[in-house]
Chain A
Amino acid sequence: MPVDNLSLTRRGEPHQQVVKQAIHWLLSLRNNSANARLRQQCEVWRAEHHEHELAWQRVQSLQAELSSNLRAVPGAQVAFNTLENSAQGLGRRQALKLLSGALLIGSVAWLGKDAVGWQQWTADFATATGERRGFQRAAAADQTDSRRGHRDVRRDRRRISV
């Protein structure tokens, strides 16, 4: 059945679901090329609606084009290896260089975070975040306690920080 592309385009593109069905038919037939019944069922589906036929024609020609282009590359596995290898290389470059702005901001934040860590290392009281409140309360307690004379600071800290 010849397809009049122009008139069909005016009526609208094949629906996404129809395109996916056409792809499903194509791949099923590819895997079961000897199955005459499947072939016949596919023909019935194509004849059901002009939209089915258009989607089928397009999917088939796309598949034929891709496969003939790939097989036009001489050498066993050359096309596969080149495309895989270059896609990985391109992915790496995009991640590294196009995101360099984001990476820069990220690394400044990371360095900033690290600086805080360094301050903690050099501080008299090296505590984790959760512990800091306990220290502040202990300090506050020390101040109130100082009014009543001297006390064992360490004991107060243990009492106040839960």
Chain B
Amino acid sequence: MTMRLIIICDVRAVASMSSPEFAVQALYSSHHGWLNTWLRARLGNAADAADLAQDTFVRLLHRTERLELKAPRAFLRTIARGLVIDHWRREEIERAYLETIAHLPESETPSVEARALVLELLESIARMLEGLKPKVRQAFLLAQCEGITHKHIAEQMGLSLRSVERYVADALYHCYVLRYET
């Protein structure tokens, strides 16, 4: 993977020295080692760090705007941090899901193929709910997953009905902004 990326960069750089690919190549050769170390400190795992370092540069290749960077490491760190969070989210969801279904009777546990689809679904929902305060997220999930009335959620969470209504509305607005305005 590492070699392939460098070769792609080289070929394109010959075609146009000022192309974004050339800029990515320059970034790659000066900062790849540093990024790898930065990621390894966060992930505690050399293989994952190498993968995510690679993904960071692949992301850059897909960007269309010109890369004129005053602080290249801060920029790389921003992209890499997003990838680290995606990676952790996937891990946490898988862990939490396996833990949850471990309590189910065998007849109710989904097949491995079905699991992969469910995990993908859960990941997309989790990404959408990220950034919500815990109580807002909980109230919203109770309303959405279980279809419980707001009054019932208020009782269950020890909140006023007014708070639950506000929380559910806030969460839906948060999702709206993510979906339609970003």
Contact = CB atoms under 8 A, between A and B. Distances in A.
A54 to B, nearest CB: 10
A23 B42 contact: no
A103 interface: no
A31 to B, nearest CB: 6
A86 B145 contact: no
Contact of B118 (A23, A74, A81, A85): A74
B81 A98 contact: yes
A63 B172 contact: yes
Contacts of B142: 80
Contacts of A26: 172
A79 B122 contact: yes
A89 B126 CA distance: 12
Interface residues of B, dominant DSSP: helix
B32 interface: no
B65 to A, nearest CB: 23
Contacts of B173: 19-20, 23
Nearest to B151: A31
Interface in B97-148: 97, 99-101, 104, 108, 110, 114, 118, 121-122, 124-126, 128-130, 134, 137-138, 141-142, 144-147
Chain B interface residue count: which class? Answer: 35 or more
Interface in A1-54: 13, 19-20, 23-24, 26-27, 31
A83 B129 contact: yes
A69 B124 CA distance: 9
B165 A77 contact: no
Interface in B146-169: 146-147, 149-150, 165, 168-169
B85 A62 contact: no
A77 B146 contact: yes
Nearest to B149: A31
A80 B176 contact: no
Contacts of A66: 125, 128, 144, 175
Contacts of B68: none
A91 to B, nearest CB: 8
Contact of B121 (A24, A69, A97): A69
A81 B100 contact: yes
9 contacts: A31-B150, A70-B125, A75-B101, A80-B141, A86-B89, A87-B130, A87-B134, A90-B92, A93-B92
Given A58-B180, A62-B172, A69-B125, 18 more contacts: A13-B180, A23-B172, A26-B172, A27-B165, A59-B172, A59-B176, A66-B125, A69-B121, A70-B145, A73-B121, A75-B100, A75-B101, A80-B145, A82-B122, A86-B89, A87-B134, A89-B92, A90-B92
Interface of A: 13, 19-20, 23-24, 26-27, 31, 58-59, 62-63, 66-67, 69-75, 77-90, 93-94, 97-98, 100
